Amino acid sequence: MDKLITIDGPGGSGKGTVAKILAAKLGWNILDSGALYRLIALISENIKKTDPDSIGKELKDKSIFFELVKDQYHLFFDGKDVTNFIRREEIGVKASDLAHNQNIRNLIKDTQRSFYDPNIGLIADGRDMGSVVFPEAGIKIYLDASIEERAKRRQIQLKEKGMEVNMRNLISSLEDRDLKDKNRDVSPLLIPKGAKVIDSTNLSIDEVVNKIMDLI
Ligand code: DC
């Protein structure tokens, strides 16, 4: 697939920020697949059910799209901006739990693939974009960074949204999530075949973006 870049990696590695800048530079769309798992977690919390059938019913025929709001991509579900709800740390943990379920993953695979329009182009970020959802992507990136650096970035992101979090809690929550994401049986977080690995610990966002632009 031309005009398709996948960026996989652990939480806080900079995938979202890099995807946003690349999308603006190239004029392509973005798919923040983590936001979709978080949406599922939010729905599950609202209906107090975790089974794929009940969640599937809630998703059926509802619109899901990303839109730039004041320079940040927001997720709209059924016409409502759900961004602030899905960004909560507990929703991230719940999303990670639900993401273990193969039926949940199947539920949104077609939705994820429908974000790709060959005439526009797509930057898809997540954990299994290059390995499972878009194995035919032209360029695959695996973005990583140290746990301390990732926690620091998450803390800044959450602070900007008015949420205070304790650094030690954040590190342990990220570690817990890394462990679950990497060791699950279905679509574990791994370096996809053919992916370029970029460690962003000591790199600026621009340096990461330039490395990817060089590959295009
Ligand atoms: O990137 P994030 O923190 O918003 O993702 C939330 C959770 O969703 C993450 O812990 C694992 C899961 N996820 C996944 O399993 N597959 C993806 N492609 C994206 C996210």
CATH at 133: 3.40.50.300
Expressed in angstroms and rounded, the spacing between residue 104 Cα and the centre of ligand 1 is 12
Does 214 reside within a domain? no
Output the CA 215–ligand 1 centroid distance in Å: 25
Q: For the CA atoms of 195, 196, 200, 204, what is the dihedral angle to 10 degrees?
A: -120
- For the stretch 131-147, pLDDT in tens is 999 999 999 999 999 99
CA 14 from chain centre, in angstroms, equals 10
Given the CA of residue 99, which atom of ligand 1 is nearest to it? Answer: 15
Indicate whether 169 belongs to any domain: yes
- At 91, the pLDDT band (50, 70, 90 cuts) reads very high
Q: Which two tokens stand for residue 30?
A: 């973005």
Taking the CA atoms of residue 101, residue 104, residue 110 and residue 113 in that order, the dihedral angle to the nearest 10 degrees is: -60
Lowest mean pLDDT among 35-39, 119-123, 147-151, 164-168: 164-168
As a whole-number percent, the residues of the chain with pLDDT over 90 amount to 81
Neighbouring residues of 160: CB distance < 8 A, sequence distance ≥ 6: none
pLDDT of residue 45: 97
Q: Is the CB of 38 under 6 A from ligand 1?
A: yes
Please give the pLDDT value at position 89: 80
Q: Find the mean pLDDT for residues 59-84.
A: 95
Q: Give the relative orientation of helices 33-47 and 89-98 as an angle to the nearest 10 degrees.
A: 90
**Mean pLDDT calculated for residue range 63-79:** 95
In a domain, 216, yes or no: no
Number of domains in the chain: 1
C-alpha–C-alpha distance, residues 157 and 20, integer Å: 14
Indicate whether 23 belongs to any domain. Answer: yes
Instruction: Assess whether pLDDT exceeds 80 at residue 1.
Output: no
Q: Is 26 exposed, middle or buried (0-12, 13-18, 19+ CB in 10 A)?
A: middle
Please check whether residue 52 lies inside any domain of the structure: yes
Judge whether 55 lies within some domain. yes
Average pLDDT over residues 183-193: 93
Other beta carbons less than 10 A from residue 65's beta carbon: 12
Instruction: Establish if 19 belongs to a structural domain.
Output: yes
Give 10 Cα–ligand 1 centroid separation in angstroms.
8
Residue nearest to atom 9 of ligand 1 (CA): 96
Q: Give the domain range for residue 27.
A: 4-209
Instruction: Please tell me the pTM assigned to this model.
Output: 0.92
Neighbours of 102 (CB within 10 A): 13
Predicted pLDDT of residue 160: 85
Is residue 102 situated within a structural domain? yes
Q: What is the mean pLDDT of residues 26-33?
A: 97
pLDDT of residue 75: 98
